[in-house]
Amino acid sequence: MKGNQALNCRTQIDKKRFGPWALVTGASSGIGKEFAQQIAASGINVVLVARRDSLLAELGHAISQRSLMFSTAPYLWTSHKRDS
């Protein structure tokens, strides 16, 4: 592939094979965000999970412009030290 052709490559995901919903973790940026966009572009509804709620809302808004359903779920990781 030459130039921008590689950047514009999208994979069509089979909705009949994988179902009408997908859960995407790490969806606020990077690979998770791109994966969520490609899944949504295939007509599959998405549940977006990540720690950064504002970025999730931004992505959710962009996906909803395509008339797809989405849900966001901010994820907060906490670590508890066990008492000895």
pLDDT of residue 54: 87
Three-state SS at 50: strand
pLDDT of residue 46: 87
Q: How far is CA 63 from CA 6, 33, 67, in A?
A: 22, 11, 7
The whole model's pTM is what? 0.67
Separation between Cα atoms, residue 17 and residue 3, nearest integer Å:
32
pLDDT of residue 3: 47
53/81: higher pLDDT: 53
pLDDT of residue 1: 45
Three-state SS at 68: coil
Q: What is the pLDDT of residues 21-68, one digit of tens each?
A: 889 999 889 999 999 999 988 888 888 888 888 888 888 888 888 756
